[in-house]
Structure 1
Amino acid sequence: MARRKPTVADVRANKGKFQYTMMRTENWEELEAAEAAGIDMVSVPPELLKDARFREVAPSLFAVPGLPLWANDGPADGFLRWGFEMMRAGADAVYCAASIATVKRMADEGIPVIGHVGLIPHTCTWTGGFRAVGKTAEGAAQVYERCKRYEEAGAFGVEIEVVPAEVTAEIAKHTSLFLFSMGAGTGGDCQYLFGTDVLGTNSGHVPRHAKQYANLAGEFERIQQMR
């Protein structure tokens, strides 16, 4: 029996009942594998989503495109135009790490928006670099307060990245936001990993929270040597 693609309403209704799985996919092969493996959600490059083949390859995956903060052509208006474009292309929600005001602008137009709290790579200079966020009482309170601001702005969820597991679990009890946990423990509503880390194709730094199930880079190298 074919799986039914979840809606935002489905996901919200299941908050606290079970955990979803989410994978960052970069290409058609990873997307097809995620569908076949029964992954629930995928983060995808916008250009992949806009391709007419997307739903043929991934009919049941809850799709979330993301756009780097500095890649847009203007704060709220640029993200709003981009959000409309993604929803027309078939996105189920969009990732937006811009300001709370921008998120509110998008949410007010009915776009399901996912924000970002904890370690935010492109602005991590404000939190001390690539390190865990929320390890102190003050830091944990700041993560929680940021979540509440997203909630008040109408966001659907947030990616909560590299935050202590106990902090994530406690925040989950006090917010209606859907928490996409990346290296933030099992207390969120979804476990989120990058396909490049899981599949072993990442040639750079592999985060400590990532679990590698294969070494495809090694296999590709072996095949190349055989050629």
Structure 2
Amino acid sequence: MKNIYTYGGQPAKRNLTVACMQANKAAGIKMTQVSAANLEEAEVLERLGIDMITIADVDIVAVRQAAPTTFVTGSQTMVQYMNEDEALAAAIKCAEQGADAIYTPRGLKTVERLSAEGLCVQGHLGLVPRLSTRVGGLRIIGKTADEAMRLFEDFKRLEDAGAVAAEVECVATEALVEINKKTSLVTHSIGAGSGGDIIFSFMEDICGDVESPPRHAKAWADMLTIRKALSAEREKGLTGFRDAVKDGSFPDKAHSVAMPQQEHEKFCELLDKWSPLHQ
């Protein structure tokens, strides 16, 4: 564990720092990163020793509570913040609340703006799904030497903008292997083979909770079948409740509390004798 101060000025302990990741990169030590969407998922990731957690930046408080020592990256979306000022304000808030790095899929100006304030910034290279129309759709990037060279140049531009890391998505394995030797960026591979420093995958893909997973995803569990079974049981229960209420079979005597007969008769007599005090 490393002793640190957060961007918000609070003393804390972390399993990794950026310097640790850079040292692991140099030594060829692979690291793991998984997404978390809530407190429960974050807790199990820390307990099982996943090296890094990536989250939506708005979930930082709950996730940091559940995973107090794991390196956490707060992610911004493409359309969440409209300009560099908004992205910077949100990034500072997220870091103040305990995020160790900020992911942005936006352009180099946003990366420069965030990194200029001392934030650890992660960019996105290779296939950026929300920009896929620019590259002809969802496909592997860097299968040709010329395209791999253009990708390498993107790496160098991201470095120059001040980023410390990059999510590298759907890139030909050999391209990332060679680029990774010549970049200072800590690379997070998702669908880009084993050449990255960090192997990143989404919680739902790992746990088999996706109807049509991407080709690069591998599941080690089958939560989808369980979730479907739970959904079917929920529907069975709700249908039974609805029908029983409609046909009058619920609530029945077994699920009701009755008055003693003598008390019931006495109550009815009192009701019959009752009259308003003021008429």
Say if 2:206 and 2:217, in contact at 8 Å, map to a contact too: yes
TM-superposed deviation, 1:21: 0.1
Maintained 8 Å contact 1:6/1:62: yes
How far does residue 181 in structure 1 lie from its aligned partner after superposition?
Answer: 0.4
In structure 2, C-alpha distance between the alignment counterparts of 1:182 and 1:223, rounded to whole Å: 30
Residues in 1 aligned to 2:128 and 2:34: alpha-carbon distance in whole angstroms:
18
Distance 1:121 1:85 in 2: 26
Task: Answer yes or no: is 1:170 the counterpart of 2:170.
Answer: no
What is the aligned-residue RMSD (CA, Å)? 1.8
Report how many aligned residue pairs link the two structures. 223
Q: Please state whether the residue corresponding to 1:13 is helix, strand or coil.
A: helix
Please point out which of 69, 75, 82 is paired with 1:60.
69
What does residue 267 of structure 2 align with?
A: none
**Pair 1:141-2:152 in alignment:** no
Give the counterpart of 1:201 among 183, 202, 209.
209
Q: What fraction of aligned residue pairs are identical, expressed as a percent?
A: 37
Q: Determine which of 100, 103, 107 is the counterpart of 1:95.
A: 103
1:30, 1:148 → 2: CA distance?
A: 35
CA positional deviation for 1:201: 1.5
SS of the equivalent of 1:15 reads helix
Contact 2:169 2:191 survives alignment (8 Å): yes
Q: Is the 8 A contact 1:16 1:189 kept in 2?
A: no
Q: TM-score, normalised by structure 2?
A: 0.76
Between the aligned partners of 2:78 and 2:58, the Cα distance in structure 1 is 16
Question: Residue 123 of structure 2 aligns to a residue in which SS?
Answer: strand
- Looking at both structures, which has the greater relative contact order when contacts are Cα pairs under 8 Å and sequence separation is at least 6? 1
Q: CA deviation at 1:4?
A: 4.4
Residues 1:130 and 2:138 are matched in the alignment: yes
2:41 corresponding residue in structure 1:
30
Amino acid at match of 1:70: V
3-state DSSP class of the match of 2:111? helix
Q: Secondary structure at the match of 1:186?
A: helix
**Residue 220 of structure 1 corresponds to which residue in structure 2?**
227
Mapped partners of 1:224, 1:119: distance in 2: 34
Tell me, in whole angstroms, the C-alpha distance in 1 between the residues paired with 2:130 and 2:149: 21
CA displacement, residues 66-121 of structure 1 (integer Å, 9 cap, x when unaligned): 1111121x321111111101110100101011111210111111010000110101
- In structure 2, the residue matched to 1:41 is 52
